[in-house]
Structure 1
């Protein structure tokens, strides 16, 4: 039996409408998982569904996950359709690079609401016996910015540092429920957001960013494959850890 298989597992993925979340959705489907895909944009979620491996059962939740009042009811509906949750990937997040003088309380709140609070709230829901499989694995997408200082990223780095440290406490608490909890910290990954940023900052600054990644800029699949390991039985003795997947960025 393939320990990396996700066959018969139901995985809930936030941020599934683009970037790393979309890639995680596609790669998990190739490993046999059925999926609950969560994102704000219904049309983009449907594009993700169209990319999934043939035969994948998928349900979508088009909603703002920072508005948590109806979140449990929406998840309960999908669990009734697909079955109990075996895995959860929190990919949804926002990134802002601004000088400290332009940081505001509202900016901190916006970033923490989606990057930290929404993910932990969903973990709380999915840890309930009525929604979870016998064993479950939760994976939070953090960032190398939560480990290494970067100018202009005080709010973003703080939010990802909160994810990394919060995951350790979740792991210690939820192990009694047979739930493993880990985080993954990528550096720059080749997504539409990165392409837009490179256009804005110009060739020289973009080259400098690429130079800081000894193995080059990553692809979303590099992060998705790490998620598959943490969701699968191959990692059944791994919890409370932060897996760095950054092409050597933070080793310098």
Structure 2
């Protein structure tokens, strides 16, 4: 494993019950990490656990970020058995395509609650000395939507832009605590969310989206492998950056 090893590191992953979050859990377990997995669906979290490397030390937190929960209490309890946090990946997120005229303050709040505020709140908690390892790395899953415009994505794009810029400022603040903070911006990745979207827009529209990716649609592990890199000691001099993992989408 070498520099990319995550042995002796405990990694907290939100949204670990499906898609990119599940893949992050699997790839981190392959690199020797212990895992604290968060998600809303206990059955899907258990499925994620079943795909981990045999012998992986793992704990689960079943929580819904759209509802008020005492995150610190939940984390403090688990750290007693899993160990202090050396890595954090915020994968939990919601996607919404909605014309501007139909956007409401409730929709705005619900998207920002999960995509932005939940991740930042968790970062605040685990940046405390009593919860973090000596050195730590935080990775926020943003999106190319936070960099380029797309019709119907005003609120979603705004949330991902907030993740990118917020993570950059957070990196400046937490550097003195030996915490690196970066974001990753994927383009379209083969997840249940994408499959549902393709089913809704039809074959022709789906193919037009695929053609915008010179290397094709990505796999969840393409993003997960980038996360492993940023969590590992191989990235020890990288902070405050937004790593674009998009199959060439934004190069055009």
Name the TM tier (shorter chain): over 0.9
CA distance in 2, matches of 1:32, 1:26: 10
CA distance in 2, matches of 1:249, 1:132: 36
Q: Which runs of 4+ in 1 moved over 6 A?
A: none
Please give the per-residue CA displacement for 1:53-85, whole angstroms capped at 9, x wherever unaligned: 011011000011344541101101111001100
Match of 2:172 in 1: 172
CA distance in 1, matches of 2:151, 2:60: 37
Shift of 1:196: 1.3
Match of 1:40 in 2: 40
Q: Secondary structure at the match of 2:61?
A: strand
CA distance in 2, matches of 1:63, 1:212: 36
Please say if residues 27 and 224 of structure 2, whose CA atoms lie closer than 8 Å, have aligned partners that are also in contact.
yes
Unaligned regions of 5+ residues in structure 1, if any?
none
Residue 115 of structure 2 is aligned to residue 115 of structure 1: yes
CA distance in 2, matches of 1:186, 1:179: 23
Aligned pairs (5 A) from 1:52-201: 52-201=52-201
CA distance in 2, matches of 1:152, 1:67: 26
| Count of aligned pairs between the two proteins | 252
Please say if residues 188 and 217 of structure 1, whose CA atoms lie closer than 8 Å, have aligned partners that are also in contact.
yes
CA distance in 2, matches of 1:82, 1:62: 16
Which stretch shifts more, 171-180 or 58-67? Answer: 58-67
Q: Secondary structure at the match of 2:3?
A: coil
CA distance in 2, matches of 1:82, 1:117: 25
Please give the per-residue CA displacement for 1:134-184, whole angstroms capped at 9, x wherever unaligned: 000000000000000000000000000000000111000000100000000
TM-score by length of 1: 0.99
CA distance in 2, matches of 1:69, 1:130: 20
RMSD: 0.8
Shift of 1:193: 1.2
Q: Secondary structure at the match of 1:139?
A: strand
Q: Secondary structure at the match of 1:173?
A: helix
Match of 1:209 in 2: 209
Please say if residues 6 and 33 of structure 2, whose CA atoms lie closer than 8 Å, have aligned partners that are also in contact.
yes
CA distance in 1, matches of 2:10, 2:65: 19
Which stretch shifts more, 67-76 or 132-141? Answer: 67-76
CA distance in 1, matches of 2:68, 2:109: 15
TM-score by length of 2: 0.99
Which stretch shifts more, 128-137 or 95-104? Answer: 95-104
